[in-house]
Amino acid sequence: MSKNPFQQNHETMTMCELFKKFKRFKLFEPSLGVLGFFLVVFFVICCFFYLDYRAVAKGYVIPAQSERFLWLELNGSSSEIKRVEFLEEEGNDCNVFDGDWVWDEGYPLYQSKDCSFLDEGFRCTEYGRPDLFYTKWRWQPRRCNLPRFDGKVMLEKLRNKRLVFVGDSIGRNQWESFLCMLSSAVPNKDSIYEVNGSPITKHKGFLVFMFKDYNCTVEYYRAPFLVLQSRSPAGSPEKIKTTLKLDQMDWDSSRWRNADVLIFNTGHWWNYEKTIRGGCYFQVGTKVKMQMKVEQAYRKSIETVMRWIHNEVNVSKTQVFFRTFAPVHFKGGDWKSGGSCHLETLPGLRTSLVPSQTWGLVKVVGDVLAAYSNTSLSTGLDILNVTQMTALRKDGHSSLYYLGSKSPAPLHRQDCSHWCLPGVPDAWNELLYALFLKHDNSRTFNSSVINNI
């Protein structure tokens, strides 16, 4: 017997009525229903974000099926990978630059308010940054465990020695981080001082800090290109203001040569804006290479640095590190055209914000260093390959909080190049510490790092 079409199930009628009402519904008509709908959606979204932050903050283990957190290992734990200790013999084959950022409640290693060796531009928390998430991430290699940084151990290793950073302002960022990490182990802060009485503010030249109780110095030399920048040759076209002599080292290189530990970095200034657009061209010998591209010039400069190390530095005495380029994270522009990183509070899932030319510079370094891997440099050179790990840290930049006042910078003048301290450069220094101790123990070169650049 057929069903009476007029005798419908009450539930079906209700759904049909709702559907008809929905079809008649005008989305943009002022309505409490519309307002209520959007409030509920907003509330649900906020709940998800809140739960994610709670999960991160409390170190909850995220289930494997949660795709949003596949990149993240909380508390550095993993049931699938058995890690060895990097400083042990079993750790010799571990690539410490292949890993993840993990949440660690034991961080940061120091507080900016307790360190007097920081530029105002790096004191983000003190000058208005409201979140502290960026200070809580630790770098965890996939296959091994790094030694926890111990300032007293490092200072004992540096007793009666010189440790020198050479490079651009990002190198200075790392140097100041290292000063804070070391000074946290020194009760009497008055025993740490700049030997020439110079203040730790932005200026050209160099700064030398003495740790009196250990008779060691931790120094910074500003040389953003590492090679020599000088006036243009006589008779040059008017548009040539200065040149980079790609076959000569910076004037101050004689001051670095006898350091016990030497950390180089360059890359931040190797772009069109900082060179050719500003009238700075490239010179080899007496000739200015008007058609030479930035990447070609960068390659020649790295070759010059390697030759200088090979010929001028006693690598049996001096441990040399080369830190690779630290990416910027400007979104929607650059430093002068409204690029931003403000409101970034968590590490990224991918490196899409990183400019493509960054990877070109990294490849240049890898190619040049590979050519020296079978020379005498192989026992005295280590690579701090921080590019990939740093590419994920869009959350760690100074952004609006670099002016040294309670008022943030304008939104169109954000700093997405330099880093808040404590923060990302501390992780670079933890890697520096681990490689230094490894080298000090075994005097071996981790050549596998070059192959992973």
**Which pLDDT tens digit goes with each residue over 330-388?**
888 776 677 889 889 999 877 666 777 788 888 999 899 888 777 777 667 899 999 99
Catalytic residue, chosen from 78, 169, 236, 447, is 169
Predicted local distance difference test score (pLDDT) of residue 19: 44
Amino acid in the structure at residue 217: T
CA distance 324 to 266: 8
Active site residue 415: yes
CA distance 43 to 46: 5
pLDDT tens-digit profile, the chain (453 residues):
444 443 444 444 444 454 444 444 444 445 555 566 566 556 645 554 444 444 444 443 322 223 333 333 444 444 467 899 999 999 999 999 999 999 999 999 999 999 999 998 899 999 999 999 999 999 999 999 999 999 999 999 999 999 999 999 999 999 999 999 999 999 999 999 999 999 887 667 899 999 999 999 999 999 999 999 999 999 999 999 999 999 999 999 999 999 999 999 999 999 999 999 999 999 999 999 999 999 999 999 999 999 999 999 998 899 999 999 999 998 887 766 778 898 899 998 776 667 777 888 889 998 998 887 777 776 678 999 999 999 999 999 999 988 877 678 888 789 999 999 999 999 999 999 999 999 888 654 444 455 556
Reference 323, options 229, 208, 228, 436; nearest CA is 436
131's tokens: 């979140």
- Parallel, antiparallel or unpaired: strands 381-384 and 319-323: parallel
Reference 100, options 122, 83, 124; nearest CA is 83
Active site residue 440: no
Q: Are 280 and 243 in contact (CB under 8 A)?
A: yes
Largest CA distance in the chain: 107
Catalytic residue, chosen from 250, 382, 395, 415, is 415
Report how far apart the first and last C-alpha atoms of the chain are (Å, whole number): 77
CA distance 85 to 450: 21
Reference 380, options 327, 312, 431; nearest CA is 312
Active site residue 382: no
Identify the DSSP state of 83.
P
Neighbours of 225 (CB within 10 A): 25
Catalytic residue, chosen from 268, 329, 397, 418, is 418
Helices 169-183 and 424-442: crossing angle in degrees, nearest 10, is: 70
Q: Is 383 helix (H, G, I), strand (E, B) or coil?
A: strand
How far, in Å, are 156, 159, 381, 434, 436 from residue 149 at the CA level? 13, 17, 21, 8, 11
